[in-house]
Structure 1
């Protein structure tokens, strides 16, 4: 296979990352450069066939919980169906650690996390686990969380706070924002992390 053909195949895969999140759409590789980081962001949606090809593959999440030391690679979807054992494991990884309780995590949130990881894998061969600071929260934990919204999407299993430690926070937030699937919060002061949820589309910086 020539270098040109190999690059074309890789670009085709990159175009297929976001399907299944917003109407089975995906981003093309005509991606803008985030000048402050030198990293590429997805720009436009690919066609349905390319998108379906990407999302037909097993969906694997590489997750790390610093509060517990857990690190797992979890396949929650395979052969066109939810992998129940993997899904339960993903829900456990995104549990309320403080309360010791888990809930059913919205599949759209898992797909969003997978879409982000898939883009980075295909664009850069990036394999670092996603550091989950907070997933599901009980109402009690949410009330005890500084700055948490009263009706937070965390209490519904529809939000995740986290980051890739080696990537710029601004880039990670812009990457999540490109999916246009819900809220994205840029927490750039103390802990430095990105909030992502599958509620209404909105953005904020703190």
Structure 2
């Protein structure tokens, strides 16, 4: 299934989502502007709202903060997260900000996972979580299907829809419905 088919099916499932007006999301400034991520860790309540990209480069101190919040919580292990994953989260989060008219945090339920944590969580053997390229997110306003549509729109990696969260990664482009899978 390609991205267009996925978005149409997700919309047909009753989770309509508007594309922000071009006036608010011009392509000439969307990726050039400072990139802000606002993430909250579900298990700990830790929260960062930081500019991780400014002036055409990564802000290292804030990048480290985001890597920390996306760490393997069970093993307390932090690694360098893929910047493309952060860009994917930024793109979708900025979209939701344009729709709501205000920024809101995304709740992280899982980021990087060690091999042991991934196995314990029932993750796939080839999971992008193990390569610091994936995050499972929730949003207080949007359903997992709506979040998947936002992430999938950019065509920057894998998107999976589950009952209570959405998986996004910066690996190869693919889509799946994991809501029927036990987790």
The TM-score, its normalising length taken from structure 1, stands at 0.74
Which is worse superposed, 61-70 or 50-59?
Answer: 50-59
Could you tell me which runs of 5 or more consecutive residues in structure 2 were left unpaired when the two chains were aligned. Answer: 1-7, 179-183
Helix, strand or coil at the partner of 1:86: helix
How much does 1:41 deviate? Answer: 3.6
Deviation readout 1:146-166 (Å, 9 max, x if unpaired): 2x1112100110000011022
8 Å CA contact retained: 1:186, 1:195: yes
Determine the structure 2 residue equivalent to 1:205: 177
Q: CA deviation at 1:74?
A: 1.6
C-alpha distance in structure 2 between counterparts of 1:182 and 1:53, whole Å = 22
RMSD: 2.1
Separation (CA, whole Å) in 2 of partners of 1:138 and 1:38: 36
Identify the match of residue 83 of structure 1 among 36, 59, 63.
59
Following superposition of structure 1 onto structure 2, how do residues 85-104 of structure 1 map, counting pairs within 5 Å?
Answer: 85-104=61-80
Structure-1 separation of matches of 2:102 and 2:16? 15
Please give the per-residue CA displacement for 1:160-181, whole angstroms capped at 9, x wherever unaligned.
0011022122211122111111
SS at match of 1:90: helix
- For the residue of structure 2 that corresponds to 1:155, the secondary structure is helix
Runs of 4+ in 1 over 6 A off after TM superposition: none
Match of 2:42 in 1: 66
State the number of aligned residues. Answer: 166
**Relative contact order: is structure 1 or structure 2 higher (C-alpha 8 Å, sep ≥ 6)?**
2
Report the equivalent of 1:195.
167
Which of 80, 84, 107 in structure 2 is aligned with 1:108?
84
Q: TM-score, normalised by structure 2?
A: 0.83
2:113/2:129 contact within 8 Å kept: yes
Contact 2:95 2:150 in 1 (8 A): no
1:56–1:80 contact (8 Å) kept in structure 2: yes
Mark the structure with the bigger radius of gyration.
Answer: 1
1:38 and 1:199 map into 2 onto residues whose CA distance is 26
1:48-63 to structure 2, matched below 5 A, reads 50-63=26-39
Secondary structure of the 1:195 match is: strand
